[in-house]
Amino acid sequence: MKLSFLGAAREVTGSCFLVETADTRFLVDCGMVQGGRAATARNREPFAFDPASIDFVLLTHAHIDHSGLLPKLARAGFRGVIHATPATADLLGVMLPDSAHIQESDAKRAARRMRGKNVLPPLYTLQDAQQCLRQVRGVEYDHEFAPGAGVRARFRDAGHILGSAIVEVRVTEHGKHTKLVFSGDLGQPGRPIVRDPAPVEDADILVIESTYGNRQHGDFSAAEEGMAGIVSAAEEGMAGIVETTLFERGGNVIVPAFAVGRTQEVLYHLHRLVCEGRLRHPAVFVDSPMAAEATRITREHLALFDEQARQLAGWHARGENLPYLRFTASAEESMALNRIRSGAIIISASGMCDAGRIRHHLRHNLPRSECSVLFPGFQAQGTLGRRLIDGARRVRIFGEDIPVRASIHSVNGLSAHADCHALLGWTSHFRRPPLRTFVVHGEPPAAEALAEHLGQQPGWRVTVPALGEAVNWPDSRALGQ
């Protein structure tokens, strides 16, 4: 058996792992690389394998950095089944067409700018996304299935976003059995909405994420208090709100959030803060058609929520203690939000500010010192979000030089990713160390820090693989021979 690390190796995005056995070839994830022009160029590179030779895909969850190249894969000749949890399958029906729309829109914009000269076609089209979706099959958590010859698999709850999964794979080759575990993105235990990550007790090969492998999240209640304080500053002067109101004091709060997962979590916290009397009457606008649809899908999968989130969903259904909440759909409604000068909380995608409507809202609000930008999630290197977090005084948006006068806040205590302590806690459930552990999905300092922590424990053999690296199994070093 051969395992190749074709993405999310010494980086956070572009998750893609190829497993080759004597009988089959399959992928775990096929994600888009995110973060600037270099990422765009990498996404256009041919796959490092023949897509037609891939028998099936096991998908950990719907986020684009894990699923975003699936339409390209199908376009290039992949005809197998994409296995995912039912909730992930539903979310893909929203996310992949939206991603295709972005690809087509970017290509049209480039054609106008270049006047048709040397213009690259879209990475994939809506038709490609729709073809890809016809290849998706939903499999419930904890149900063992046989996706290919000599392979049995099972999805376990990863506690990251709705439908996210740890993938357990049992490969039988030449009469020998090997168990691989891919953590996917693990959630932080004790967080609201989704359940805690399921414990796994054994593996021969473990592939584990490390997004926050060198950091501890702040106290959860302190993070909520910080969020409440930022929002309260924008609430000042609000006596009531209609869509044309211009507020006398304070600015707006712009929240770049992933349409799937993070938007729903931010709404949950705002609703809970209102119910507890810690916020008065925030005016919340979710400016993302995809987020609106993802929120609807989220409500259809209440069985996957924890008890606290189900209770809040019940309040929401009964209309109790709701903040003013408007989902904007059309481009005209989105543009109208930029006429609001004060008191608006505008949640919009993309979460790392590299595409979508959020860039318009940043363009209008970053130059205003009374406004705030609240980042509730990780920002990858090379993204506009990361430049803002790192203190950039000026940024380029739509070819314009925009001064950054708004206050920039990062609330990592709300992160959907496990921190170092939680990652080590999850690995503590293994009855014996895996024979080999590979640390992925993290920038080098984070991946190396987690690898060092794990490697200090007796019996753990840990590697931070490089992009493109491949390992063969059985591995004599791991087997102690």
Strand order of the sheet with strand 436-440?
A: 145-148, 151-157, 165-173, 176-182, 205-209, 436-440, 462-463
> pLDDT tier at 316 (50, 70, 90 boundaries)?
low
Domain covering 2-215+416-472 in this structure, CATH number: 3.60.15.10
Global pTM?
0.83
Taking 60 as the threshold, does the pLDDT of residue 190 lie above it?
Answer: yes
Question: pLDDT tens across 133-164, in order?
Answer: 999 999 999 999 999 999 999 999 999 988 99
Looking at per-residue pLDDT, the higher value among 142 and 121 belongs to 142
> pLDDT tier at 443 (50, 70, 90 boundaries)?
very high
**How confident is the model at residue 308, as a pLDDT?**
60
> pLDDT tier at 307 (50, 70, 90 boundaries)?
low
**How confident is the model at residue 72, as a pLDDT?**
98
Q: What is the average per-residue pLDDT within 338-359?
A: 86
CA dihedral 44, 48, 54, 59 (to 10 degrees): -60
Pairwise CA distance, residues 481 & 476, whole Å? 5
**How confident is the model at residue 480, as a pLDDT?**
43
Q: What is the average per-residue pLDDT within 216-237?
A: 62
**How confident is the model at residue 111, as a pLDDT?**
80
- Say which DSSP state 46 is in: P
Pairwise CA distance, residues 279 & 163, whole Å? 30
The kind and range of the H/E element at 436 are strand 436-440
Taking 70 as the threshold, does the pLDDT of residue 9 lie above it?
Answer: yes
Q: What does the mean pLDDT of the chain come to? A: 85
**How confident is the model at residue 305, as a pLDDT?**
64
In the chain, where the domains are located = 2-215+416-472, 220-414
Q: What is the second-level CATH architecture of the domain 220-414?
A: 3-Layer(aba) Sandwich (3.40)
**How confident is the model at residue 35, as a pLDDT?**
79
Question: pLDDT tens across 258-288, in order?
Answer: 777 777 778 777 877 777 777 776 788 888 8
Pairwise CA distance, residues 183 & 439, whole Å? 10
- Residue whose C-alpha is closest to residue 47's, from 19, 20, 26, 76: 76
